[in-house]
Amino acid sequence: MKGKLITFEGCEGSGKSTQLKLLAQKLDALGVDYIMTREPGGSAIAEQIRAIILDGKNTAMCDECEALLYAAARVQLLKEIIIPALESGKLVICDRYVDSSLAYQGIARGLGEDFVASINSAALGEYAPFMTVFLDISPEQAFSRKHGADRDDRMEQLGMAFHEKVYRGYLSLAEKYPRIRRVDCSGTKFETSDKIWKLFKESGAVAKDK
Ligand code: TYD
């Protein structure tokens, strides 16, 4: 595989979208050959799966179904978009990936990391991220910055206790997988963006002199 896959993770409202925009500006300015995509979604089929998962009316969805749908959307995005981009040598940036499933479905929902790993073998094996940037901010701080949850989003409707479990889940994943790099987000968005850029250089995702 010629390209590198870098994933972004964090709790709801952790500022991923803002950071990804700032990152895109830097990559554009340098003329880096990259694509940016997101999960769940990122391809026509995966976006349809996303709509089912996040639909606030789907209150009867069981946890296993949810985990399998995220895994289905992921493998579709992987085969349709991510693998071809990596093979053509591009840098691939993905907004959420397999660690979201480990933290939300495996740990917070309680399905277990083994179950989630078993249905996501490609994303943890051959197509594991080269580096994962974890935007480290607690759900309380994140929600207060964002002024509350989106009432139409099935995942955001889950209470604070659930999001606390997700956060603790991420912290334990960061201890386990050295590819996960924690970025303290307590400063300004520009300070956080600088920390992320430093990781990109240190890891070799972009040239060190950039
Ligand atoms: P989205 O609106 O993209 O949220 P965000 O901006 O926070 O990324 O919705 C994605 C939601 O799906 C979010 O609540 C996290 C959740 N999710 C999982 O529970 N498992 C997964 O594997 C993925 C990719 C996302």
pTM: 0.95
**Nearest residue by C-alpha to atom 6 in ligand 1:** 12
Q: Which residues line ligand 1 (CB under 6 A)?
A: 12, 16, 39-40, 54, 70, 96, 100-101, 104-105, 155-156
Instruction: Look at residue 148 in the predicted model and tell me its pLDDT.
Output: 65
- Pick left, alpha or beta for residue 204 (phi over 0 → left; psi -120 to 50 → alpha; otherwise beta): left
87 CA distance to ligand 1 centroid (A)? 26
pLDDT at position 154: 82
Handedness of CA 117, 122, 126, 131 (dihedral sign): negative
Q: How far apart are CA 29 and CA 25, in angstroms?
A: 6
Ligand 1: nearest atom to the Cα of 95: 8
List Cβ neighbours of 140 (8 Å cut-off, separation of 6 or more).
160
Please say whether the beta carbons of 110 and 80 come within 8 A. no
The low-confidence residues of the chain, meaning pLDDT below 70, are 146-149
Spatial separation of the C-alpha atoms in residues 21 and 33, rounded to whole Å: 16
> What separation in Å is there between the alpha carbon of 96 and the centre of ligand 1?
7
10 C-alpha to center of ligand 1: Å? 9
d(CA 120, CA 29): 35
pLDDT of residue 130: 98
